[in-house]
Amino acid sequence: MGYTPKILLHRNEETNRLAMALSDALGGQTPSNVFICGKPGTGKTATSKFIGEQLLKKIKEINSSYKRMVLNNFFEELTEDLADQNVPVSGGRNKILGVKDVLGEEVAAEIERNVKYIYINCKHVDTKYRILTNIANTFITDWKERLPFTGLTTDMVVIKLLKCIENYHGVVIIVLDEVDNLLKKSGDDVLHILSRLNEDLKNSTTGLICISNDANVFNLIDARVNSSLSLDIMVFKPYNAVQLRDILKHRAEKAFNDGVHSQSIINLCAAYAARDNGDARRALSLLMVSGEVAERSGADRIVEEHTKLALEKIETDSVSEVVRTLPIHLKIALLAIQVQHEQGRTKITTGSVYESYVQLCRTRGISALTKRRVSDFISELSTLGIIDANVISYGREGRTRIIRLAACDSTISDTFARDDEIKDLMFQETYPSVPRMQTRLI
């Protein structure tokens, strides 16, 4: 699934706009800072990587073309000078000579355009120190000189980073994918630093691309940082069923042998993914897993039953992975909801969940968080699609959130049963014996 397509279907507008935003880099000028947002699977990462590859390819062509022009002009002038002096010219131009031989290293460096495209996924590199050292280390080829993972102050790292970029003599474009992970964990300090690099650079310049599934992520940063970034905002819309069908057809032709898939299977995978917010990544996963299911069953072609089994497997694996990676307090809050669901509670509320959560924390031997924080957990679990939390109005009596599991409870139970942090709590008596109506929304 790490494959980057050579052709991006149904993303011409977004591709052209991003290319225009970065086009100044081809002339050695500062490109625009860009914020790319949109739901998962809408082509944000693929488009940014595709444009990066095209940008580096184009700058290589420009450099080669300009060098050829300089050498041609040099040899033409040399030939004319020799002819004027009646010096015979034989053997043609010396093919060993290059631009540096003709113009010298300093002049050659000035006419050559350097562009560096650095991609960082903030889901894996999510602290200010690691972001800055990762960028700096892309310029350092000697492993002995590379910045360590820990041990330096931020100021020392920034000084080293500025020196690396300045000595590069070119344009450095930094891509921070899933930037919301960075902002939520480490704040906006690193964006503040990166947005101000150009103030201390003379021979080089930088541009920044931030990518996020959350369009409101920049509400998390200081207004002054937002202002200094001056981001050009690009929104990627979800794919529809027809567009997903084209994407799947193009990929299937490369991935499968003839006769393995049919148009009906392509249509089915596209329809399922279009129903789930137009996620191309999900559509491609469904097609790939359908092929795996067919192969394991000994079939020579994919049929509808294989795709239905693949859909069930993907949904189970997806929920399991999300639950497994939740922080401990979120796991406990989810367990509190699940226990009440299993015991037949028809109206699970924030209040009852909090009481169960407190008891589980006490059993686990950790301090419980506030009711407001658990309410935030419920909102987060709802956003992840693990639970549904709908607000019900009771008129003058107030409003409350009625909570129910949206994901398969057996999948959650199986995941918790393999989780050392939570499995010992699964058989505790955790929900309040006297049900109480919550009369206000928290």
Q: What is the dihedral of CA 139, 142, 145, 151, to 10 degrees?
A: 80
The Cα 229–Cα 192 span in angstroms is 8
Residue 419 and residue 328 in contact, taking contact as beta carbons nearer than 8 Å: no
The Cα 108–Cα 159 span in angstroms is 27
CA distances from 383 to 52, 126, 326, 426 (A): 32, 21, 13, 24
Q: Beta strands of 367-439 (E only): which ranges?
A: 387-393, 399-405
Per-residue HEC secondary structure of 151-180 comes to CCCHHHHHHHHHHHHHHHCCEEEEEEECHH
**First-to-last CA distance in the chain?**
40
Angle between the 328-342 and 350-364 helix axes, to the nearest 10 degrees?
120
CATH number, domain 326-425, options 1.20.1260.10, 3.20.20.70, 1.10.1060.10, 1.10.10.10? 1.10.10.10
The Cα 370–Cα 359 span in angstroms is 13
Amino acid at 187: G
Residue 278 and residue 42 in contact, taking contact as beta carbons nearer than 8 Å: yes
Residue 60 has which token pair?
């290589």
Does domain 12-236 correspond to CATH entry 3.40.50.300?
A: yes
The Cα 337–Cα 317 span in angstroms is 20
- Give this prediction's pTM: 0.71
Residue 256 has which token pair?
């499968």
Q: Beta strands of 178-290 (E only): which ranges?
A: 205-212, 232-236
What pLDDT is attached to residue 428? 58
The Cα 100–Cα 114 span in angstroms is 16
Residue 77 and residue 147 in contact, taking contact as beta carbons nearer than 8 Å: no
Residue 233 has which token pair?
């905002």
The region that residue 151 occupies, defined by phi over 0 for left and psi between -120 and 50 for alpha, beta otherwise, is: left
The Cα 410–Cα 397 span in angstroms is 35
Coil/strand/helix, residue 335: helix
What pLDDT is attached to residue 86? 58
Strand 205-212 versus strand 34-38 pairing type: parallel
Strand 232-236 versus strand 34-38 pairing type: parallel
What pLDDT is attached to residue 138? 96
Collect the ranges in the chain with pLDDT lower than 70: 1-4, 67, 70-111, 393-398, 427-442
Does domain 241-322 correspond to CATH entry 1.10.8.60?
A: yes
What pLDDT is attached to residue 75? 56
Residue 204 and residue 166 in contact, taking contact as beta carbons nearer than 8 Å: yes
Residue in 332, 396, 388, 391 with CA at minimum distance from that of residue 360: 332
- State the Rg of the chain over Cα: 29
Stated as kind and residue range, the H or E segment containing 177 is strand 171-177
Residue in 400, 328, 407, 396 with CA at minimum distance from that of residue 361: 328
The Cα 3–Cα 251 span in angstroms is 10
Q: Hey, where are the domains in the chain?
A: 12-236, 241-322, 326-425
